Amino acid sequence: MTYLSGKPTGILSGQPAGPLSGYSTWAWHPHFGDIDDVDLAKLWMHLASFGVTGPGWSDGDDNGSAPGKNTSAATTPDVRRAWLLSPEEMLPRGCFVASTEPIGCLEGGGGAGGGGGGGAAVGAAEEAAPAAAGIEVGTAAAGAEEPAGTAEAGAALGPYGKGRGHHIPAKRAFTGDPNYDINAALAIPKLELRAQGIFHPQITGAQQSLYREFARTGQPLTWDVVRSIETQALTRAGMSPESASITVNKAISALQASGVSGPVSIPWGGK
């Protein structure tokens, strides 16, 4: 597998100590605690012949026509139910604990009854979006400050203009429909993505790749195809198939209820 180009950028070279050494994140996390300062100029020599193998990795096609070194890493999503935070972590964040099952709780504030905790890591960016998300669909209580979807009920959804995040389905499919409003359209809010443990680019990347492939078939885009693609995109990003299906169905039902008659174009389809 070709993984690294072995091309020193100069960014790391010449630094006597590792730039990671000053970041507490690398020190306190158990997986990163054993990282020592290193001479990164020397490290580049090792990186040049560096290869990564392991579960979930597959050798990718080295695209000879492209200058970039592409490592394909198609993996089966690691889907599991788990505590988002340990009990010891919950109280300082103002979470309301009332379940013996894994529950969702987001940094930056409590849910219903939560009282709004700290959450510095999530902090400032959220100021741009109103805190209340009373129009959420799903398990999040109306008026709760934070969404909190569950595996049984799918991800919590809210208007994009409220919580930002990721449009479900892709906005481009409906752009131009007079009943479609990009800000009122439902999305998985940014905080809900984090609560679900999902990396946002993974959803968009799968969406783009799937819609682009579908466009090549020459077939018209239908609600059923949208449903299928969106569900697969969420599943690949790590959501359980059941939760993904419920989430997508909620979003599509909301679009239909708002008067959107159907997809008007294929996202990334060039039309």
Partner 1 sequence: MPSPEIEEFAKLLVQQVRDVAIGDCDVALRPNAAGPVFKRWKEAAHKGNLESIVGIVVPDTVDDTIFHLLDAIDNGLLNLSFTAANGKKVDLPTDGLGELAGWYIGTGGWRALYSQERFIDDFADLVGFFGPSKEGK
Site for partner 1 in 149-208 (CB under 8 A): 160, 164, 170-172, 175, 182, 190, 193-194, 196-202, 204-208
> Between vectors from CA 135 to CA 130 and to CA 138, what angle results, nearest 5°?
125
Nearest approach, Cβ of residue 218 and partner 1 (Å): 4
Among 22, 27, 41, 50, binds partner 1 (CB under 8 A): 50
Shortest CB 148 distance to partner 1, Å: 13
Interaction with partner 1 in 207-246: which residues (CB under 8 A)?
Answer: 207-210, 212-214, 216-218, 236-239
Output the six-digit token pair for 27. Answer: 């020190």
Measured from the CB atom, the residue of 4 and 141 that comes closer to partner 1 is 4
The binder of partner 1 chosen from 10, 14, 68, 178 (CB under 8 A) = 68
| Nearest distance from C-beta of residue 24 to partner 1, angstroms | 12
**Closest separation in Å from C-beta 178 to partner 1:** 17
Contact between 13 and partner 1 by CB under 8 A: the answer reads no
Q: Which is nearer to partner 1, 63 or 142 (CB)?
A: 63
Strands (DSSP E) along 111-219, which ranges?
158-159, 166-167, 186-188
Which H/E stretch holds residue 224?
Answer: helix 223-236
Give the nearer residue to partner 1 in terms of CB position, either 116 or 161: 161
In angstroms, rounded to a whole number, what is the distance separating the alpha carbons of residues 193 and 173?
21
At 157 the three-state DSSP class reads strand
CB atoms < 10 A from the CB of 141, how many?
Answer: 17
Task: State in angstroms the smallest separation of the CB of 208 from partner 1.
Answer: 3
Judged by beta carbon, residue 43 or residue 153, the one nearer partner 1 is 43
What is residue 78's three-state secondary structure? coil
123 binds partner 1 (CB under 8 A): yes
Tell me whether residue 71 or residue 249 sits nearer to partner 1 (CB atom).
71
- Give the whole-angstrom CA distance, residue 260 versus residue 34: 54
Rg of the chain on CA atoms, in Å = 21
How far, in Å, CA of 132 to CA of 135, rounded? 9
Among 47, 135, 141, 184, binds partner 1 (CB under 8 A): 47
ω into residue 19 within 30 of 0, thus cis?
Answer: no
Asked if 115 interacts with partner 1 (CB under 8 A), we say no
Amino acid making up residue 269: G
**Interaction residues for partner 1, span 69-108 (CB under 8 A):** 69-75, 77-86, 102
Q: For partner 1, which is the closer residue by CB, 204 or 249?
A: 204
First CA to last CA across the chain, in angstroms? Answer: 36
Residue 159 φ then ψ, to 5°: -60, 140
